[in-house]
A and B are shown apart, each in its own frame.
Chain A
Amino acid sequence: EAQVTQNPRYLITVTGKKLTVTCSQNMNHEYMSWYRQDPGLGLRQIYYSMNVEVTDKGDVPEGYKVSRKEKRNFPLILESPSPNQTSLYFCASSTQDSQETQYFGPGTRLLVL
């Protein structure tokens, strides 16, 4: 089954404790992206990757890092999480030729205390 998976689905952590949210897709997509979703603000793009070893900032990259060492995986790293990073996070992927249709993962709900 074609899908985007994220882990963990739920996470409670404390300020300053490094964490990684994994994202994996099995559709051989080149383009992958991370979003956060907050009430009233909608989905905002954090980082995106056009292909392996090619990443770039979205609208709200501060406090986040990403890497793209393999085509299928695009982890999101929070080196020192803060309470304002409490949010719902989504990973998405699409083909390079047609970035028009993005396939989203199920989401990761993060609470930073």
Chain B
Amino acid sequence: SQKIEQNSEALNIQEGKTATLTCNYTNYSPAYLQWYRQDPGRGPVFLLLIRENEKEKRKERLKVTFDTTLKQSLFHITASQPADSATYLCARPYGQNFVFGPGTRLSVLP
């Protein structure tokens, strides 16, 4: 079965630094990977999607990469702010299903 691993359960960084979160998948590469943000007690909110043939994608302070050789996606938040504190989820399609990683809880310290 398909599996998604996210490198850390929790990550603490100082405000202004770049946060880097890792997502690793097993078996065949998906057509795309998604990244979501989830705040406590709320549903996930879609942030970015990167396709298999894209190396990198940016949206404001967010950057996502996709390395099919390493079977890995990296999610970067530059100039991080306390408001970026949340859990970030990586997901991949699997047929008509979706498989999510367990998430990384990011805390940006002022």
A residues contacting B by CB (< 8 A) are 4, 33, 35, 40-45, 48, 50, 56, 58-59, 90, 92, 99-107
CA distance A50 to B89 in the complex (A): 23
| Chain A binder among B13-21, B61-69, B71-79, B94-102 | B94-102
CA distance A35 to B44 in the complex (A): 11
Q: How large is the interface on B (under 10, 10 to 19, 20 to 34, 35 or more residues)?
A: 20 to 34
Please name all residues of chain A whose beta carbon is closer than 8 Å to the beta carbon of B4 when the two chains form the complex.
42
Q: Residue A42 contacts which of B1, B46, B96, B101 (CB distance < 8 angstroms)?
A: B101
Given A33-B98, A101-B49, check contact A107 B42 (CB 8 Å): yes
Instruction: Please determine whether B44 and A48 come into contact, CB atoms closer than 8 angstroms.
Output: no
Please name all residues of chain A whose beta carbon is closer than 8 Å to the beta carbon of B49 when the two chains form the complex.
100-101
Given A33-B98, A99-B93, A100-B32, check contact A42 B41 (CB 8 Å): no
Please name all residues of chain B whose beta carbon is closer than 8 Å to the beta carbon of A100 when the two chains form the complex.
32, 34, 49, 93
Given A56-B96, A58-B97, A102-B98, check contact A90 B43 (CB 8 Å): yes
Given A100-B32, A100-B34, A101-B46, check contact A43 B41 (CB 8 Å): no
Instruction: Please determine whether B97 and A45 come into contact, CB atoms closer than 8 angstroms.
Output: yes
CA distance A50 to B95 in the complex (A): 12
Instruction: Please determine whether A104 and B45 come into contact, CB atoms closer than 8 angstroms.
Output: yes
Instruction: Please determine whether B97 and A42 come into contact, CB atoms closer than 8 angstroms.
Output: no
Instruction: Please determine whether A43 and B93 come into contact, CB atoms closer than 8 angstroms.
Output: no
Instruction: Please determine whether A48 and B43 come into contact, CB atoms closer than 8 angstroms.
Output: no
Interface centre among B34, B43, B89 (most CB of A within 10 A): B43
User: Which residue of chain B has its CB nearest to the CB of A105?
Assistant: B43
A-B contact pairs, 26 of them (CB 8 A): A35-B100, A40-B102, A42-B89, A42-B100, A43-B44, A43-B89, A45-B98, A45-B99, A48-B97, A56-B96, A58-B97, A59-B97, A59-B99, A90-B44, A99-B96, A100-B32, A100-B49, A100-B93, A101-B46, A101-B49, A102-B44, A102-B46, A103-B46, A106-B42, A106-B43, A107-B43
